[in-house]
Amino acid sequence: MRLNKSYLLIETPLQNFAVRTNDHLRVDTTFDYTFQKKFGSKKIAGIRVKKLNVKHKSLQNELTFYYAKKVPAKYANTYTNLPGLPVLFYIPTEKGLFRYTLTEIKFNTPPLQLFLIPADYKKVSFDEFTDEFTKIYENEQKH
């Protein structure tokens, strides 16, 4: 179950903050593409991956990607509607293509504590954080 909540933990000398973000509202601009599964597989980072061709709206040529079918694409922060986790892929930018290749993958169950907000952190919205941080900064400048 996905709760669509995310927090940015920020430590300051006077107060620690857990700032609510709107990351779940972020638009994945890489959805401007289509893909087609292709015959072929190989190993990347020790796991068997499959081939697909991707046609991105901003590019003339197709790109060859590889994905791990056994790992859901939702764990990536881009190309989340592929049939598995992208392990060799490209991101088009104004400066050219950036190529990403998975170099290591670890399968484990992280402790729940890793995802909890520490008790000494104050939960705030981004606007509340901006206001409070400005007040803290202004008070520090006076002293």
Compute, in degrees rounded to 10, the torsion defined by CA atoms 132, 137, 139, 143: 160
pLDDT tens digits, 104-140: 998 889 899 888 999 999 999 988 988 887 887 788 7
Q: What confidence tens digit (pLDDT) does each residue in 27-36 have? A: 555 568 999 9
92's CB contacts (< 8 A; 6+ apart) are 56, 58, 59
State the Cα–Cα distance between residues 47 and 37, nearest whole angstrom: 18
Q: How far apart are CA 87 and CA 66, in angstroms?
A: 6
Q: How far is CA 2 from the centre of its chain?
A: 15
pLDDT digits (tens, 9 = 90+) for 54-96: 999 889 999 999 999 999 998 887 888 899 999 999 988 888 8
Indicate yes or no: pTM above 0.95.
no
Share of the chain above pLDDT 70, in %: 91
Instruction: Label residues 30-61 b or e (16+ Cβ within 10 Å = b).
Output: beebebeeeeeeeebeeeebbebebebeeeee
CB 72 within 8 A of CB 81: no
